[in-house]
Amino acid sequence: MSKKVTITGATGNIGQLVVPALLEGGAEVTALVRDPQKAEGLQSQEVTVIEGEFTDTEAVQMAVEGADAILMIAPPNPDSAKQMSGLINAAKKAGNPYVVRISALKAAADAPTDNGKLHHESDTELMESGLPYTIVRPHFFMQNIWMSIPTIQEQGQMYWGMGNGKLGMVDVRDIADVAVEILLDGSHQGEILNPTGPESITFTQVAEAISKFLDKEISYVPVTYEQVKHSIIEMGWGDWGGQMMHDYAKAYAEGWGDFTTDDVEKVTGNKSRSIEQFVNEVLAYGFQQQTA
Ligand SMILES: NC(=O)c1ccc[n+]([C@@H]2O[C@H](COP(=O)([O-])OP(=O)(O)OC[C@H]3O[C@@H](n4cnc5c(N)ncnc54)[C@H](OP(=O)(O)O)[C@@H]3O)[C@@H](O)[C@H]2O)c1
């Protein structure tokens, strides 16, 4: 009998990689999706779609009912702990499904960002729920660099607020691989996994990898935390999002993210992907799209 897996955040960075891999692995996949247009895309992949928001308790309950495993992903937002609480309660009512939760790097009560504090609340709630669980706390996503494509192409520059801080940034493909592996085989229960890339690197090194790929000088321009906040607010993420990115930038600049783990290899058997692999295999596609 195939495994029934429910996923939230199926249309996001991690979810859109996880869904096809779960189907490929023989799972029956159900997704809670709020956007009917995106739901159509998933239905065409033979995913059972339950349309609804995290606040729609009926839809949430329907989505988790009968699941053997659930992958819980919510975007960073001030209501995330409440949203997760609704999902955890629905999972408890649905029986005893195995829950894999995407949390945040070094989530803690005294984390330097509100996002880290909210994730700590949700991690604690899940750990105390009695449900079998694995918590995944990934490092900074390499895919975040995607948002620098326009300035790289137009100005040969990328603007970030991490100073000379080093980050063990991770390719989202590795996070998805970790999630799929544990959802399908149920391993690593009761653990907190911290997927990182293979190296802790500065944004100057990221720019070097991009320069090499494009065969053109690309430079990293460090900006202030206030500039980070301002541009994030301008991008429409709101004051909460702006402050979150301000606080992450400061923490990373101060060396908070300067570490790597071998958790990707421990779970998947494969070494985590390097920044060069990310640039050559993922960012390359973004450059093609922009010039097409
Ligand atoms: N970015 C990083 O560097 C980083 C690092 C470590 C941890 N994280 C954590 O990773 C998580 C985000 O993962 P991600 O980047 O894969 O997700 P994402 O790309 O931010 O996508 C969020 C997903 O949640 C769905 N969603 C948003 N609001 C919803 C609502 N009200 N009801 C139902 N669904 C809703 C979105 O649907 P739509 O498609 O309709 O928008 C989308 O599928 C966050 O918890 C973040 O803290 C991020």
**Helix, strand, coil percentages, rounded to 5, for the chain:** 50, 15, 35
Name the pLDDT band for 44 (thresholds 50, 70, 90).
confident
Its pTM surpasses 0.85: yes
Alpha helices by DSSP H, listed for 146-233, are: 149-155, 172-185, 203-214, 225-232
User: How confident is the model over 232-259, as a mean pLDDT?
Assistant: 97
Residue 118: predicted pLDDT: 98
Interval 46-80: pLDDT, tens: 999 999 999 999 999 999 999 999 999 999 999 99
Q: What is the pLDDT of residue 39?
A: 84
Q: Give percent of the chain above pLDDT 90.
A: 94
Is the shortest distance between the CB of 57 and ligand 1 below 6 Å? no
At 289 the pLDDT is 82
Judged against a pLDDT cut of 80, whether residue 254 lies above it is answered with yes
Average pLDDT over residues 190-214: 98
CB 238 within 8 A of CB 229: no
Give me 290's structure tokens: 């922009």
Q: pLDDT-derived band of residue 258, with 50, 70 and 90 as boundaries?
A: very high
Cα 212 to middle of ligand 1, angstroms: 31
Could you tell me if 116 and 82 are in contact, meaning their C-beta atoms sit under 8 angstroms apart? no
C-beta 135 within 6 A of ligand 1: no
For ligand 1, what atom is nearest to the CA of residue 169? 3
pLDDT for 38 equals 87
Q: What is the structure's pLDDT at 292?
A: 58
Mean pLDDT of the 202-218 span: 98
Confidence of residue 291 (pLDDT cuts 50, 70, 90): low
**CB of 76 closer than 6 A to ligand 1?**
yes
pLDDT band at 290 (very low <50, low <70, confident <90, very high): low
C-alpha torsion sign, points 58, 176, 199, 289 = negative
The predicted pLDDT at position 41 comes to 86
Domains assigned to the chain: 1-137 (3.40.50.720), 139-171+196-292 (3.90.25.10)
For residue 223, pLDDT beyond 90: yes
38 Cβ inside 6 Å of ligand 1: yes
* Neighbour-count burial of 24, counting CB atoms closer than 10 A to its CB (0-12 exposed, 13-18 middle, 19+ buried): exposed
Evaluate if residue 89 carries a pLDDT over 70.
yes
254 sits in the region (left: phi over 0; alpha: psi -120 to 50; else beta) called alpha
The percentage of residues in the chain with a pLDDT greater than 70, rounded to a whole number, is 99
Predicted pLDDT at 2: 72
Q: Residue 77 C-alpha to ligand 1 middle, in angstroms? A: 9
3-class DSSP state of 182: helix
CB of residue 53 inside a 6 A radius of ligand 1: yes
CA end-to-end distance (rounded Å), the chain: 45
Q: Could you tell me if the CB of 138 is within 6 A of ligand 1?
A: yes
Tokens of 110: 């005294």
Is 77 a pocket residue for ligand 1 (Cβ < 6 Å)? Answer: no
115 lines ligand 1 (CB under 6 A): yes
Contacts of 223 (CB under 8 A, 6+ apart): 159, 160, 161, 231
Do residues 92 and 127 lie in contact, with contact meaning Cβ atoms separated by under 8 Å?
no
**Contact status, residue 92 vs residue 129, Cβ threshold 8 Å:** yes
Beta-strand relationship, 192-193 and 4-8: unpaired
State which amino acid sits at residue 218.
I
Query: Which pLDDT score, from 0 to 100, does residue 267 have?
Result: 98
Closest atom of ligand 1 relative to the 35 alpha carbon: 40
pLDDT of residue 186 exceeding 70:
yes
pLDDT of residue 93: 97
| pLDDT value of position 1 | 60
Query: Per residue in 105-153, pLDDT tens?
Result: 999 999 999 999 999 999 999 999 999 999 999 999 999 999 999 999 9
Beta strands 192-193; 133-136: pairing state: parallel
Predicted local confidence at residue 178, as pLDDT? 98
